[in-house]
């Protein structure tokens, strides 16, 4: 459990002179998928990678509003993060989202945002999924709860 707490510390240790966007997220995903990187090594490296994401709620092309998260078990869902603008746009267009705003930040900041959302009294907890439809690496809501507890 302490390992995940170290992920955020590792992100803070990155010297400010190294821009976040220089971390090759796709290469890390491929190394993880091919078994070169285990889960912890992957997340420790990917935490500083640049990702694109949007808010969980948005308008659908049918005119209604809905939650744009991928369902999971036990009252949880995954919020998607993408390694490129193109993949994010492709996903949201495929699921019928209309008029979305994409934010750009590190994967660590994205996880911190989800932890803050989960701290609210919502009927659902969120985890994270990276590049759904391409890789689908997930960080469960349970792991984010453990991480949140470790940050207190």
Q: What is the pLDDT of residue 151?
A: 62
Residue 75: which domain range? 2-151
pLDDT, tens only, 39-76 = 988 988 999 999 999 998 899 999 999 889 999 988 99
pLDDT, tens only, 73-106 = 889 999 999 999 999 999 999 999 998 899 999 9
**Is pTM beyond 0.75 here?**
yes
Q: What is the pLDDT of residue 62?
A: 92
Interacting residues of 120 by C-beta distance below 8 A, sequence separation 6+: none
> Strand pairing of 125-130 and 103-106?
unpaired
Please tell me the total count of domains within the chain: 1
């Amino acid at each position: 459990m302490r390992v995940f707490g170290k992920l955020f510390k590792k992100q803070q240790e990155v010297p400010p002179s190294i821009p976040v966007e220089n971390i090759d997220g796709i290469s890390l995903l491929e190394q993880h998928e091919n078994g070169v990187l285990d889960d912890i090594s992957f997340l420790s490296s990917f935490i500083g990678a640049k990702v694109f994401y949007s808010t969980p709620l948005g308008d659908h092309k049918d005119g209604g509003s809905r939650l744009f998260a991928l369902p999971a078990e036990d009252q949880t869902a995954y919020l998607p993060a993408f390694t490129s603008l193109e993949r994010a746009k492709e996903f949201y267009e495929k699921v019928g989202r209309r008029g979305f705003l994409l934010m750009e930040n590190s994967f660590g900041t994205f996880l911190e945002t989800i932890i803050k959302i989960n701290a609210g009294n919502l009927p659902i907890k969120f985890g994270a999924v990276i590049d759904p439809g391409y890789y689908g690496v997930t960080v469960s809501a349970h792991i984010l709860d453990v991480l949140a507890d470790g940050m207190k």
